[in-house]
Structure formats: C-alpha cells, structure tokens
Amino acid sequence: MRFRHEMKHEISYSDLLVLRSRLSAVMQTDPHAADGRYHIRSLYFDNVYDKALREKINGVNRREKFRIRLYDHDISFIRLEKKSKVNGLCSKESVPLTADEAQAIANGDISRFAFDERPLLRELYSKMRSQGLRARTVVDYTREPFVFSAGNVRVTLDYDIRTGMEHTAFLDPDMATVPVPMSPVILEVKWDDFLPSFIKDIVQLDGVRSGAFSKYAACRMYGL
C-alpha cells in the first residue's frame, strides 16, 4: 500500500478563477476530464454509531472509509474504494464493480461477496457484517483536475457540493440532491515523494491555510 501526501484548502470562487488560470499554464488537465471537469458521485458507508464521521470530526490519527464512486453518471465505470489515513498520509485501494454489484451493496445484499476473489470486496463484506457498515449518504460535486508527472502531483478544484439521502437510488442520474449550505470550493493537492516548488508557490493564496474539510462530513452533518 503506497501512501501519499495530501493538502486541503477551503477557498473562494474568486480563488478558483485565479488558480484555474495559474494551474492550466503549468499543468496538464486530466485527460479523462471532458472540457476540463467531470461530475463525481460517491456513496459513503458508516455504521449506526457514525464511526467514520466521528473519527473524522475528532481527528483520529488512523482511520478509514469506504465509498462507491462513479464519474459523469457512467455506470460502466464504477469503483469500490477504501481510503485510509495514517499520520497525515493517505492511501487508496480500489476495485471495479458492475452496476448490479454496486446496487446490491447499496441495498445491503452482500451475501454473494463472502468468498469473492477480490480482497477489498471481502473486506467490505466482513465489515458490513461485523461492524454494521451500511450505505449512508450520497455526495455529488464537480471536479477540475490538473496533473504533473514529476512527483505524481494531482491538484483538484472541487465545488457545487450536493447531498442526497436516498442512497439506494445513487445510480439514478435524476436522483434528487440538494446543495450543502455555505460549502466552499475545495483545493486538494496530492503528491508522492516531493511537491515541485513552483506548484507549491502557485497554490499558496493569501489568507488561506491548510484544513481538513470533508465532503462526507459536511453532507452528513447537513442530513442529520
């Protein structure tokens, strides 16, 4: 499992405009992003005690969360992901799912995954059985991604964060969602061993500090 550095900032829309111009001058747009952006929908999992939510809010040093993610409502490309954080470093494991598998997991119909050949699916099955994990909420947003090969740097601008509580309908592009009030634009910077100095300089904005904004936490807090 490879861990990466991650830095987050809450920024304004005017900051987004500035960064979009700066980043496009020195970084490439992610080739998977049509017109420089794409829509992301994630279905997050938690237990009845809100373990993942509380660990995030309390800043627990070692934590993990599971989600199912799709891009631009394309049900032919769905991923189950597990994101782990240890000592401020992040890692992500993922495995492809069919639409039928994703819907079954959202419905809590997990018996078929008990002996699945994919380790991540077996782990999710085990934790849904032992810890009571279940689908909790949908998080939607728009992302503008930029990449730079040296250092495996990825800079993203995320905005228009919306939430939906009808998790079993998350594959439906017409599922009702609502904007999360007062949600900021989120600047995320991720890299492996080093962050090139010119990118570090570009993403520094006056009056903006690193934070730990969680789209999942914001959507769950809104939905409580």
Q: What is the CATH number of the domain that holds 129?
A: 3.20.100.30
Q: Return the beta strands (E) in 32-122 as ranges.
A: 38-46, 62-71, 78-86, 89-97
CA 32, 220, 40: angle at the middle one, nearest 5?
A: 10
Instruction: Write out the two tokens for 193.
Output: 């061993």
Residues 150, 197: Cα–Cα separation, whole Å:
11
Where do we find the tokens 């904007």? 179
State the Cα–Cα distance between residues 154 and 144, nearest whole angstrom: 11
How far apart (Å, rounded) are the C-alpha atoms in residues 221 and 135? 15
pLDDT of residue 223: 52
Angle among Cα 189, 190, 195 to the nearest 5 degrees reads: 85
Q: Where are the beta strands (DSSP E) in 87-199?
A: 89-97, 134-148, 153-164, 178-179, 185-191
Give the 3-state secondary structure of residue 218: helix
Sign of CA dihedral 11, 145, 51, 84: negative
- pLDDT at position 88 is 83
How many structural domains comprise the chain? Answer: 1
Residue 163: domain span: 4-223
pLDDT value, residue 192: 95
> Per residue of the chain (224 residues), what is the pLDDT tens digit?
789 999 999 999 999 999 999 999 999 999 889 889 999 999 999 999 999 999 988 889 899 999 999 999 999 999 999 999 998 899 999 999 999 999 999 999 999 999 999 999 999 999 999 999 999 999 999 999 999 999 999 999 999 999 987 788 999 999 999 999 888 999 999 999 999 999 999 998 877 766 668 899 888 876 54
Burial class (CB in 10 A: 0-12, 13-18, 19+), 219: buried
In degrees and rounded to multiples of 5, residue 155 shows phi and psi of -120, 130
